[in-house]
Amino acid sequence: MSYQIPQLILLGVDSLCLRRSLRLAEQKWVQIAAVWNPKMLEEERVLCEKASITLLPEKGLALEAAVQVLGCEYVIYGHGWEDAGRARYLLRDRHGMVLEQNAFALLEAFLEKEAELSVAVEPELASLRVVERKMIEKALQRFGTTVNGKKQAARTLGISLATLYNKIRQYQLLKE
């Protein structure tokens, strides 16, 4: 099986997150399927058009794109977008991941590592469980394993604290 570039949709993210995503796309670590951002700068709009990235005109279409794009694995959303819960629900059957832009650094680090590994060995598409485990591990390393660290990790990953505890048990990440 050959390595497939994961697809990403950006919804209401800030300029920094957009530019970092474009850098990942240039390096073929991710393919940006669509972007919705009413505050996008003209130069960012031009960069997206040159890269053949779909620019969505409104929020409703952004959510529809998150559902319609086959193979979409990641949706990153910023403060200007309120339908994260609905997107998670709609993407559940596609095994998609919906993350707040604060968690983008974790996703970026994971995608870079995956891309490097795909060059070194015959690549296979990482399962969602592998991605999820790595992102949780990274968040726990970054914020710590104290109760407050776990709360911050859960907030950054866009999941509830109870879900984080369940995932920690599921993946046996911490020794009891």
pLDDT tens for 40-50 read 889 999 988 88
- Are both 119 and 147 inside the same structural domain? no
Residue at 14 is within a domain: yes
User: What CA–CA distances, in Å, run from 13 to 33, 34, 51, 173?
Assistant: 14, 12, 18, 31
- Are both 39 and 27 inside the same structural domain? yes
Q: How many domains does the structure of the chain reveal?
A: 2
Where does the pLDDT of residue 148 fall: very low under 50, low under 70, confident under 90, or very high at 90 and above?
very high
Residue 148 sits in which domain range? 127-176
- Are both 96 and 74 inside the same structural domain? yes
Q: Residue 69 maps to which CATH number? A: 3.40.50.1980
Condensed to tens digits (0 to 9), the pLDDT of residues 65-107 reads 777 765 677 888 887 677 778 777 777 766 677 888 888 877 8
Q: What is the mean pLDDT of residues 20-28?
A: 82
Residue at 152 is within a domain: yes
Region of poorest pLDDT, from 61-65, 66-70, 169-173: 66-70
Residue at 159 is within a domain: yes
Q: Residue 167 maps to which CATH number? A: 1.10.10
Where does the pLDDT of residue 165 fall: very low under 50, low under 70, confident under 90, or very high at 90 and above?
very high
The pTM for the full model equals: 0.63
Residue at 2 is within a domain: no
- Residue 29 contacts residue 21 (beta carbons within 8 Å): no
- Are both 137 and 120 inside the same structural domain? no
**Beta-carbon neighbour count of residue 126 at 10 Å?**
21
